[in-house]
């Protein structure tokens, strides 16, 4: 309970401090291509419950109707503004609202969509015992996921049969190590990795 209150409090402060940035990003998304500013999608949360995750839209409107729910490097559905937002992970900022609502923590396993969770083994479903996170070990471990998927013949199949299970394995290892200190270190490492990736984009 105390952990949840801490995460929600930090998210509330972050939303207030980042309000001008969020407003600018919203305008950029709105002006760059037709469609809503916020992309909403069902994800699986703690104990298998469903919730709606929020992101700044980085693809053309209705992109999920045209291809698999994965996005390799060079995905033509990604808008020009979307490429920049993804390079700096700015599209994930609206998930601070998910943290404020209690759907997510700041740090934890990344939430998957129902069709991929349906492929989890019983052992992998243990990852659903905690709240998912805005940042997490699988995100840090797979910063090059888009490039890896682009190198495969079938990005959707490769994600579902290989990458997804490797991501879950990283998140399961996290469950044995999680603590406030560990989470803070992971957040710092994530920020550094995003800066390095963004500078190289």
Measured distance CA(181)–CA(187) in Å, rounded? 10
Q: Which two tokens stand for residue 117?
A: 């969770």
Domain housing 47: 2-200
The three-class DSSP label of residue 172 is helix
pTM of full prediction above 0.75: yes
Q: Look at the chain and report how many structural domains it folds into.
A: 1
pLDDT tens track, the chain, 201 positions: 667 889 999 999 999 999 999 999 999 999 999 999 999 999 999 999 999 999 999 999 988 776 678 999 999 999 999 999 999 999 999 999 999 999 999 999 999 999 999 999 999 999 999 999 999 999 999 999 999 999 999 999 999 999 999 999 999 999 999 998 999 999 999 999 999 888 875
Classified as helix, coil or strand, 167 is helix
Task: Let me know: does 42 contact 111? Beta carbons within 8 Å.
Answer: no
């Amino acid at each position: 309970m105390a952990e949840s209150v801490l995460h929600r409090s930090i998210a509330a402060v972050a939303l207030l401090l980042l309000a001008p940035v969020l407003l600018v990003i919203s305008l950029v998304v709105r002006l760059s291509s037709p469609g809503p500013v916020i992309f909403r999608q069902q994800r699986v949360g703690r104990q298998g419950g469903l919730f709606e995750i929020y992101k700044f839209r980085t693809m053309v409107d209705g992109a999920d109707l045209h291809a698999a729910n994965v996005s390799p490097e060079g995905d033509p559905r990604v808008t020009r503004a979307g490429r920049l937002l993804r390079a700096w992970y700015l599209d994930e900022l609206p998930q601070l609202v998910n943290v404020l609502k209690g759907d997510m923590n700041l740090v934890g396993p990344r939430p998957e969509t129902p069709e991929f969770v349906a492929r989890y083994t019983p052992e992998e479903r243990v990852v659903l015992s905690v709240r998912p996170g805005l940042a997490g070990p699988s995100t840090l471990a797979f910063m090059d996921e888009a490039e890896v998927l682009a190198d495969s013949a079938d990005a959707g199949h490769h994600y579902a049969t290989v990458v997804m299970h490797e991501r879950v394995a990283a998140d399961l290892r996290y469950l044995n190590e999680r603590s406030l200190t560990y989470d803070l270190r992971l957040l710092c490492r994530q920020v550094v990795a995003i800066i390095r990736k963004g500078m190289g984009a």
